[in-house]
Structure 1
């Protein structure tokens, strides 16, 4: 195993929107586009990416998340917009062919990205099975009305969240960490939450506030239906690997709800830990499995390293 590469941060200007990108590994390595989950950021891969020897891991902060710009106030946040952004990122970096490593909501973005480009060599989902937020076919109109009313209520009240006027201001980093753990993953360790939070906190005077757009907690007015989310999964043509946490979002009966929608080539494995198992403590077995997966579809340096 080679020496770990220190991460490098870049800003990409895509049609006036700056997207923050954190990269690990040599630029001549196997390109891996790493897509984080909802309200997370590129730090989601802070512990895993440095262990992927021979890979060039590119982890953008999705627009509205982390250190990337927010969308205009007359715009919103849809999975297909994130997918279009990520396609622009790969084109900006000159990546004709690349692998995708996606977590949580990022797997929904990835499923749409797969419909937009044939450049994906393989996809690996980390505790995700496509679009996480869907609406029933017969509830779209009612959902749209509810989402619009909620948006207007927040706009009129000038709140930074649903009902917490001070919810985005914190006296200490520790207070922010506690909120992050409550909202995202109650099982997330303090160390893991700190990695995510530090990339998403901005010091303002004597306190702190989140960098991410508070509108991210609002529901999409027109989300995908469950049928559409499942159809996107079925249409994935590249090799697809699902690595799910035994105590994660798909434990119990949840996995079965989308199992039938997986394409024939999909391979599923289960790993110790919860929804953020890749961030909490990525063990050697997980890293080796990822490297074997990439090596299966790539020759050269990475294949030799795995064989050794």
Structure 2
């Protein structure tokens, strides 16, 4: 495994590459508040692929947005598109978990020339808003932005203590929490704290509306594999009913486990991915 850094116009992205570097790039995009190492268990099962996993802006070891900026979902589409373009990659395959799958979905719709195949792990459709709630949405976002500078990150004695805290808020075991925590923390005077930007927790100032989401999904031209966890997020099961008819080419399968099934059930997940990408 090789550590990598990618310099974008406004910040740098950290990540790693594993596998034959001459093959088609399979770009791995993690979920909200996770990092590139969420794909470590999966990478051990997919050694034949040229995997490139990145920390999205504000996550893991990647840079944070400037002090006058915030984390808009659509800006991540720009980040990933710019990464692919600057790196000189041809069409890439994308494996996206949760929010990473949503980023990959929009990218595949708006920049079809960049995406060959798309794998969604416990991710289907996009998060939507309601037109009737836009006033409240913006108000809440402003209040969150006022509060962010006043908040302090929790501090832990060591990485193991931070991992226990991460596990307590998740549906996986300590070993899985430790994988995410080792890359997702940084040293501080009192011990360790999270490296993620506090602004990631701010409420979005706007959300896409259902007709916009439907249009985006219908505009995805490439083949799509959705791997849903049997005990994953309820919103993903609901999305299955709402959105699966929108995709032009959708394969849908289930694996056992929770929302991070690619970490807790890497063999099952890798088998489905291998069949889809290499068939």
2:83 is the alignment partner of 1:89: yes
- Which moved further from structure 2: 168-177 or 255-264? 255-264
Cα distance, 1:280–1:142 mapped onto 2, change above 3 Å? same
Is the contact made by 2:27 and 2:53 (CA closer than 8 Å) also made in structure 1?
A: yes
Residue 286 of structure 1 pairs with residue 272 of structure 2:
no
Match of 1:141 in 2: 135
Which structure: greater helix fraction?
A: 2
1:25–1:55 Cα contact (<8 Å) kept: yes
Deviation at 1:168, TM superposition (A): 2.3
1:125 to 112, 120, 124: 120
User: Unpaired runs of 5+ in structure 2?
Assistant: none
Instruction: Tell me by how many angstroms 1:202 deviates.
Output: 0.6
Residues 72 and 261 (structure 1), Cα distance of their counterparts in 2 relative to 1, 3 Å cut? farther
TM-score normalized by the length of structure 1: 0.85
Deviations 1:137-184 (A, max 9, x none): 2111221011102211333xx213xxxxxx42112223312332344x
User: Cα 1:154–1:50, aligned 2, differ >3 Å: closer, same or farther?
Assistant: same
Q: 1:77-130: CA deviations, max 9, x gaps?
A: 122111111111112221111111100001111122113322211101000013
How far apart in 2 are the matches of 1:14 and 1:114? 20
3-state SS of paired residue (1:124): strand
- Deviation string for 1:247-297 (max 9, x for gaps)? 0114895244423553131110011111001011312x432321121123x
Cα distance in 1, alignment partners of residues 236 and 190 from structure 2: 45
What SS does structure 2 have at the residue aligned with 1:19?
A: strand
The equivalent residue for 2:206 is: 222
Which segment drifts farther, 272-281 or 146-155? 146-155
Bigger radius of gyration among the two = 1
- Consecutive unaligned residues in structure 1, runs of 5 or more: 1-6, 161-166, 297-308
**RMSD, aligned α-carbons:** 1.8
Whole-angstrom distance in 2 between the partners of 1:42 and 1:256 = 26
Query: Hey, what's the Cα distance between the residues in 2 that align with 1:194 and 1:212?
Result: 16
Which of residues 84, 103, 126 in structure 2 aligns to 1:109? Answer: 103
- Alpha carbons 2:228, 2:236 under 8 Å: kept: no
Alpha-carbon contact 2:148-2:198 (below 8 Å) kept: no
